[in-house]
Every structure is written in C-alpha cells, then in structure tokens.
Amino acid sequence: MPRTVRDVVFVDGVRTPFGKAGPKGIYHETRADDLVVKAIRELLRRNPGLDPKKVDEVAVAATTQIGDQGLTLGRTAGILAGLPQSVPGYSIDRMCAGALTAVTTTAGSIAFGAYDVVIAGGVEHMGRHPMGEGVDPNPRFVSEKLVDESALFMGMTAENLHDRFPHLTKVRADEYAVRSQEKAAKAYADGTIQQDLVPISVRRTDPAGGETGWGLVTADEPMRPGTTLENLAGLKTPFRVHGRVTAGNAAGLNDGATASIIASEEFARENGLPVKMRLVSYAFAGVEPEVMGYGPIPATEKALAKAGLAISDIGLFEINEAFAVQVLAFLDHYGIADDDERVNRYGGAIAYGHPLAASGVRLMTQLARQFEERPEVRYGLTTMCVGFGMGATVIWENPHFEGDK
C-alpha cells in the first residue's frame, strides 16, 4: 500500500560543554561514553512527556570507534542512560558530520514510518582518540594519485583552499575568527548558550601528586574572549611554512558530546513535546578530498534544489567553523558578506570547539534557539564540511514563523 511521508521535527537538543583535548583538558579523565550518557539523561529530564519505552532508536556517531567510543555506542549508551533494554541503538560515522548524519538517517526512517521518535547525537574524545588513531589508509590513494597526499591532513586541505581562492586571505580569516570569539562571548553574556548545556562532573588528578579532586564543568573550555587581530597575527602556521591556517582561525582538538530528540510532528504534538524546527530537506555531496572545505557549497546546492528554495530564502545560517577559510569560501560563493548578521549569530566552532562527530547537533541547537528569537525568519540551514572531501547540509523551517499572519 502507498505510504505518506510524515513531517519530521527537531524536538530538543543538548550538549556537554566542549573541552580541550589532551592531558590538560577538562575531560582528560572522563570517558567518552559517559559524556553521551549525560546528554541523553538530560534530554529525558527536560522532556518528561517522552516515555523512554517509546524511543525507537538511539543513533550515536563517533569518528574513531574504538575504546570507550566503540562497542556499538548507540546501544551501550542507551542502556547506560537508563533506557529500557527494548530500545535498540547503533553507531554511525561520517567524520565531522557524524551527528548530522545520525539525525538525517533516523529522520528518513521517521518520514517513512519505521520510527516515531529517536535519540540522535555524537561524541568525540580527541584527547583519548586522536583523529586517525588506528586507521590504515590504503596506499593506493597516494601511489595511484587517487588523491593528493594533503587530503589525509585536514589542516593542509584548508591551506589548499586558500591556494584555490587567494582573495580569501589570512587577514580575512583572522578577522572572521575574531568575530566568532566576540559573538560567542556575547551569547554567553546573554545566557543563550548555557540553556542547552549539560553540567558534567569531572575527576582530575593533580599532576604534582596531590589529591584527586572533582569539579563541575559548566562552560566551554576552548573559548578565547578578548582575542584580537594582533594576537592572531603572530601565531604559527603549523601546516605550511608561511601558511595562512593557524590555531586562531581554526577549530582546535576537542572533547564533547551532543544529543537530540527527533520525532514525527504528529508524535511530538500527541505527546506534548516541543517542536523547535521542522525538517525541510538535506543533502550530502562529494568534492576533491584535498579541498574538503569546499564541500558545503555543492551540498547546499542539492539541498536547496530538493526543497525548491533559493539561497535568498535562507534567513539564518549555522556553518561549522572547522576552518575560517571554509566558511569564507561558502559565503564568497553565495555573495554573502563575511560579517553578515545571519551567519553564526552566536559564534561557532572557532570559539566553542569542534569535537568532530558531535558538532552537527550543536549547529542544530543553536539554530533552534535563534528560530525562537526570530519568528520573522522562515528557513535556516545547518552545514559543514566533512573529512576526505564531502559536505553536508540540512535545511530547516521555523515552526514559530509569523510571516503569513
């Protein structure tokens, strides 16, 4: 019998504060799966109308699926979070777009009617599991020149993007990075970001041999408020001598987790759950791996075409700031100013951090919060570049839209 495609909605999203990867980072002694568990528990606490027994799936992304990010994380994290054992789960990997893909994959199943409501998110503990740990790239990639060797190193791909678009200068990248820090600081000062953060208890061992202590993490660790162009000008360019990509105009190595509730709109209404965003379309696209930062452009073209929309219809943009040049390439392609107020209004990954597979849902929670503030905006999008030459874009509709009233 013919099926009717159902409307899919973003009910709610939360994340842990993001930390710096490494021995000095806030999550150095915290397990990756525990970060996911805390996020899932907070989602359930915030949404008492959702009966845990009704959750149809738990999809959790991680780029490096070993150790405490392995063992079919969606299933194990669901059990650890207290969901009934009848709730299944699985793991997913699309590198930086892991959580975004967890959302779109389960959303397709909801639209088809296989699920009513799911939990989708991602985690990356880059301190425990650096990007590329344990992988063995096939030597044919380089020996047969299937890709340039730089494709295996994300920072080099950003330098390649600067090469391809020389008018996207280091100064423009640094100026963009300063604005990201400023907008993030303002969002914190306004109390906007904290609304979707899950406080995390962390254990820290005194490296000098003192007593072990406990603390509560309530804010993102990577932020550098007060960053200036002068600060950034003198930073090293680790990926190329006299290069343009620095620690100041790129996201760092980070730890953190995100989780969201995705449901059919009918299920959400029937169970008294909020409807924060309505899914319009999504698309993924491949590009040359050595310029992976270009990926959001063709992905957005595909998503717009599927939705029957133009870029001028998009009133808010959440673009992952893996590298400033990647965002600038996107804006330049569409003729959008570097400082357009529709773009990353709360700041982005350059300030907050980018724990790879977790970041997609951070973009969504920030867009959902802006939809509440901006009922005059009908459409927004979340987009990101993806390692090894891909882009991912999701277009959302604002359920609070008042333009036709």
- Angstrom distance (rounded) from CA 70 to CA 327: 31
Look up residue 398 and give its DSSP letter: -
Number of C-beta neighbours around residue 5 at 10 A: 10
162-168's contacts with Cβ under 8 Å and 24+ in sequence apart are 162/243, 162/244, 162/245, 162/325, 164/291, 164/294, 165/325, 165/328, 165/329, 165/332, 167/332, 168/325, 168/328, 168/329, 168/332
Active site residue 385: yes
Between CA 254 and CA 354 the distance in angstroms is: 6
Catalytic: 354? yes
Catalytic entry in 125, 129, 162, 354 = 354
386, HSE (Cβ side, Cα atoms, 13 Å): 26
Which positions ≥6 away from 181 have C-beta within 8 Å?
Answer: 223, 224, 225, 226, 227, 347, 350, 351
Q: Could you say which of 28, 96, 125, 129 is catalytic?
A: 96
User: How many Å is the maximal CA-CA distance in the chain?
Assistant: 69
From 28, 129, 162, 385, active-site residue: 385
| Alpha carbons 354 and 360: distance in angstroms, whole number | 9
Q: Which of 320, 327, 399, 322 is nearest to 360 (CA)?
A: 320
Residue 242 annotated among the catalytic residues of the structure: no
Q: How far apart are CA 353 and CA 127, in angstroms?
A: 13
| Residue corresponding to tokens 């590298």 | 323
User: How far is 187 from 37, CA to CA, in rounded Å?
Assistant: 26
**Active centre residues (catalytic):** 96, 354, 385
